[in-house]
């Protein structure tokens, strides 16, 4: 079912992406480290991706400090930011898409995805919506319920552009990717 897992180095987010500055990327990587560390995971823990894709990745992250734990004390916010970081890396590995722009409030999704080699394309030509959600600790029933909820949430922007919904669960860890 799975080949050899690809290593995802979460601190690579600090290199930035088209719509993620290196500073924000470093922040997202820190949130990932805190979520994984607080769930008791060791370096190289595997995250299973299911849904539209079947894949397995080994995660690597920076050492968590007591200062980081104090900084990232809001569990809900930390989980959301960490889910963004992992979702961005997973979607880049599994597709030719990357994050190209933050979405506006009220659209029902978080980011616009575009092709990695989008040089010279018309803005939003061949683009995809991305909605991300994180769960610190949950089972497959909770993950599937969250996917359903997020599919519903993207309805205001349904129409011309497809969407990926990515839910990242940190206790297992796993990620479910749905396409709409």
Alpha helices in the chain (DSSP H): 22-38, 66-71, 75-94, 140-153
Mean pLDDT of 44-67: 96
pLDDT of residue 1: 56
Tell how far CA 6 is from the center of its chain. 16
Q: What percent of the chain has pLDDT over 90?
A: 82
For the purposes of burial, counting CB atoms within 10 Å of the CB of 59, is it exposed (0-12), middle (13-18) or buried (19 or more)? buried
Please give the residue that has the higher pLDDT: either 118 or 80. Answer: 80
pLDDT of residue 134: 97
pLDDT digits (tens, 9 = 90+) for 66-107: 999 999 999 999 999 999 999 999 999 999 999 999 998 888
pTM value > 0.85: yes
pLDDT of residue 160: 84
Mean pLDDT, rounded, of the chain: 92
């Amino acid at each position: 079912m799975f080949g050899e897992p690809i290593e995802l180095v979460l601190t690579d987010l600090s290199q930035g992406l088209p719509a993620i500055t290196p500073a924000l990327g470093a922040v997202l990587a820190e949130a990932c480290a805190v979520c994984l560390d607080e769930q008791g995971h060791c370096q190289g823990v595997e995250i299973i991706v299911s849904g539209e894709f079947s894949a397995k990745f080994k995660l690597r992250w920076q050492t968590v400090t007591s200062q980081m734990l104090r900084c990232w004390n809001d569990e809900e916010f930390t989980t959301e930011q960490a889910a963004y970081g992992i979702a961005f890396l997973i979607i880049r590995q599994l597709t030719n898409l990357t994050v190209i722009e933050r979405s506006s409030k009220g659209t029902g999704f978080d980011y616009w995805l575009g092709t990695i080699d989008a040089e010279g394309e018309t803005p939003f030509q061949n683009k995809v919506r991305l909605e991300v959600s994180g769960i610190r600790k949950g089972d497959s029933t909770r993950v599937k319920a969250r996917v359903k909820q997020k599919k519903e949430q993207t309805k205001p922007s349904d129409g011309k552009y497809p969407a990926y919904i990515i839910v990242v669960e940190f206790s297992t860890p796993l990620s479910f990717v749905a396409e709409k």
